Chains A and B, each alone.
Chain A
Amino acid sequence: MGTTIAIARRELSTFFNSPIAYIVLSGFLLVAGWLYFGTLFLGGQASLRAFFSIAPLLFVFFTPAMTMRLIAEEKKSGTLELLLTLPIDDWQVVAGKFLAALATVAVGLACTFPYALTVSSLTAQPDTFDWGPVFGGYAGLLLMAASFLAIGLWASALSKNQIVGFIVGLLLCFGFYFVDKVAVLFPAGLAELLQFLSVDYHFENVARGVLDTRDVLFYLSLTFAGLVLTTRSLALARR
């Protein structure tokens, strides 16, 4: 455990000591804030629903940007050799990097919390503001981010080129986001399956404030699958 934390800590300090962290995070906040507040006053409804409906699509773009360098860069600079000859299991390396990325996303999400405070103060009677969907939404976003990050991490482990890592991660995340949008074109049975595979479909449930085990399990298994694939890719790098 201590070694996993050590790897996560190194990753975080590298990330926050470089401009990428601030570019990605402020980019996320800027776009999210702009899209959200641009329509908030037109809608005339004091809720975060609009934010939660655009956040998944933003994550499709921003999470691969966070994960793209995590393994690809080490492959390119050769430090992977250093890392993989330290006395730790491959999964600990993967877990450390994943936790670092998740913590970064958590920081980004924490920065959007003032939106919730602003909106709650806009309601006529602030104490009647419904916090359930807000917390549900944040929990859902964190779960979704976890699955996207695991997928992105795998994409980063595929080559030593960060751009390849980014684009493959983006395409995969987009696939998992988009898959239910085309479900109407297919027969009912297949459509249901496609819907079940969609991260967005599950997120809608969570964002309503309903924390269903099925949705949570979906995200956790997607995350787990991504991390297992990443660990396997590292093992292949040893061949």
Chain B
Amino acid sequence: MVKIAGLKKAYGATQALKGLDFSVPKGQVVGLLGPNGAGKSTTMRILAGYVVADEGTVQVGGEDVVAGSVATRRRIGYLPENNPLYEEMMVVDFLRFVAEVRQVPRAQQRQRLEHAIERCGLSTVLGKDISQLSKGYRQRVGLAQAILHEPDLLILDEPTSGLDPNQIVEIRHLIAELGKEKTVILSTHILSEVEATCQRVLIIADGKLVADGAPEQLGKGEGTVTVVVASRVGLTLEAGTVRSVLEAVPGVSRVETSEAEGGGTLGFALRYQNEDPRRGVFEAAVKNDLLLLEMRRQQVSLEETFRKLTGA
């Protein structure tokens, strides 16, 4: 559906995109992640046909977005960042205007409008001026505008920014539903959102693609095991020896001191890369007469992967 190769774009002296490549097959819901200024919005603007790239090719449905600009724009529904809308227009007039400019056939116009209005839950605010709407309703108008011509590809630039938690859940439901039939590319910097809605994550940092995979797969295999150990009755616990015992466990790459529970207990955090060290920790504890009071594994979250890859 989308094919991007060698994409470069500079605004004056700042290089926003430094050679971006990725492609998205039909029907996938993809999340673009990245810190502010990484080039997410620029990528989406180029895809949507607003901005022209300096170098590289972008194809939507096999057609170039520059050479076949109007044709590709017809297949795309776009929700720009900050959701700009004609404030002085009534919701229904605005949607009708978009339908007309998008050349939705007259015979289907009514039905398509009704469908978009119903889907986005706008029927109670149709006669209001857009300037009077709350942020959540504005966002829904932006979404309705983007879906009313039934596009193959939806590009949503930060669809949930500035919404309250209830509204975020609503919009996510809507996106999930739309994702059943359409290809969706959305950007966000809320990581849990990607985990909730996307089948695939692309992490962009400094104008380049730094990670690409399913959200639950990114950073898999890495993690931390926290343990709390105590001495058996009659024995004393020495931090140094315990540490060296834990360091010797296969799979553990680094041992850090962490919170203990007091009363002669010691706490450690064991980092591991590939191998789950819990079995080894237990065996080492038995062998060295240590009591394991607690052992907990934490896999690396998307958040940590994100922070590591984007250099925060």
- Contact residues of A with B, CB < 8 Å? 2-3, 6-7, 10, 13-14, 17-18, 77-82, 84-89, 238-239
Contacts and interface: CB of A to CB of B under 8 A. Distances in A.
A87 B85 contact: no
A32 B74 CA distance: 47
26 contacts: A2-B103, A6-B101, A7-B101, A10-B86, A10-B97, A14-B86, A17-B88, A77-B87, A78-B82, A78-B84, A79-B86, A80-B84, A81-B45, A82-B80, A85-B50, A85-B76, A85-B78, A85-B80, A87-B70, A87-B71, A87-B73, A87-B74, A87-B103, A88-B70, A238-B52, A239-B52
B102 A87 contact: yes
Contacts of B52: 238-239
Given A3-B100, A3-B103, A78-B82, A86 B88 contact: no
Contacts of A14: 86, 88-89
A108 to B, nearest CB: 21
Nearest to A79: B84
Contacts of B102: 86-87
B20 interface: no
Given A3-B101, A87-B70, A87-B71, A238 B89 contact: no
B73 A85 contact: yes
Nearest to B77: A85
Given A84-B50, A85-B49, A77 B84 contact: yes
A-B interface, 10 closest residue pairs, ranked by CB to CB distance from nearest? A78-B84, A6-B100, A87-B74, A87-B73, A79-B84, A85-B48, A81-B80, A87-B70, A86-B101, A85-B50
A96 to B, nearest CB: 9
Nearest to A89: B70
A10 B97 CA distance: 7
B65 to A, nearest CB: 11
Contact of A81 (B50, B74, B100): B50
Contacts of A85: 48-50, 73, 76, 78, 80
B51 interface: yes
A79 B50 contact: no
Contacts of A18: 88
Contacts of B85: 79, 82
Contact of B100 (A2, A79, A84, A89): A2
Of the candidates A10, A14, A87, the one having the most CB atoms from chain B within 10 angstroms of its own CB is A87
Contacts of B76: 85
Nearest to B93: A13
Nearest to A3: B101
A78 B80 contact: yes
A102 B101 CA distance: 20
A84 B49 CA distance: 8
Contacts of B125: none
A85 to B, nearest CB: 5
A88 B80 CA distance: 17
A13 B94 CA distance: 11
Contacts of A84: 49-50
Nearest to B49: A85
A239 B52 CA distance: 6
Of the candidates B49, B76, B85, B100, the one having the most CB atoms from chain A within 10 angstroms of its own CB is B100
B98 interface: yes
Contacts of B97: 6, 10
A77 to B, nearest CB: 6
